[in-house]
Structure 1
């Protein structure tokens, strides 16, 4: 399903994006999965999933958080594939922010049954994500990215205000302290396939997002036909709304909410 901006605006006006059911099997129910693989994006590490991990483990699921190297897209995808190779049976692959690129590429892995995007990039195969993003207003966090040579990170002010703005400042400062720098080459990567075209997909939009434009998130969710929820959240909804994100993952795993 290809959508242009005019069609997207019409869909939003009709309230379509708030509650969507994928045409790729979500309506009939995703296959039951006991495994969940979580991938973090930029300005973070695997610990950003801690609250969600604890909740999923309490429901008896086998959970693994990938430590995304944030070097190049092929290397990041390879790190996720190695974890997927170790899973036994159907697996829900979950990505936040930039790692939606990884979910989109690595999600074709035979162990992956369902995809979950959390305020995440969801490009089509070969799509220039940067060009797509430029068709929407630039989010404030973009101005807060600083580089030391080829190594990029988010400034403390931008991290606290534009990345984790709905968290208590003390919690946000801890997350800032463990921020994993990324390599500039990572941003040049393009996916070669789009797993969401063949796998049931779910999407959590952050309506107060200052890192990815919320309307861009809605556009990508609508285009992929994802079952979509909207949360009044900053970019890090898995931290500020762990119950809702856990519920979405459980639904994707075929375990209700």
Structure 2
């Protein structure tokens, strides 16, 4: 049995944390087919702990919902503007503006709009999210609703919201190290955390990574869940990951780093981020721990 009752936890919640978490709304976007999975236990732990602190928690159980993963013209009710040269991003932007997106998308957008924190809970498939969760990202984060050319990254639409990844791996942590066979997990996380979450403006919390739970003893899995529950007690007060602000780039020159920013960092040991490292070594744990 992988689940861990929140009543079993020895941690106690300080009143200061209770007041901080009260009345917050949390959306858990969950992708696993088995109710007996470790991911299900992690999702249930999040719901239990956060609800016990006064949060309103909604869960989008994507498999149970039979959520449609493919982004197609069916996501628009009525006629599209240009059927001969269909562009999904532009067509769904118009549909969002005109109230013509299909019901499952608008319902997920409602949940997202109301949420203060979004937790994506999933097993890592092929170094990324499962297809059904990628479909949620493709369809729900509509152009205009979630981002625009003017509103992205540090100036993004969701800059007042927090988001985080919580996931299991099939490989041990050593395999995702800088000299491990899978490569540095910080690099693996960059497209998800910078290219999706930060791109839409979210303040990104450090990921919760459950390393290879299927390959360790049950008592270690329980310890993992207890650690997750302890973290959840203070999750909204955590520092977020650091990303280079949009105003450090020159929009008139292809969004390259401004010369003064480049020069300021030229003599430093590490680059700025995983994605912009100036030919230097990657900043250690840049995508895994806040304040590094």
User: TM-score normalised by the shorter chain: which range applies?
Assistant: 0.3 to 0.5
Relative to the length of structure 2, the TM-score reads 0.34
Higher RCO (C-alpha under 8 Å, 6+ residues apart) = 1
The higher radius of gyration belongs to: 2
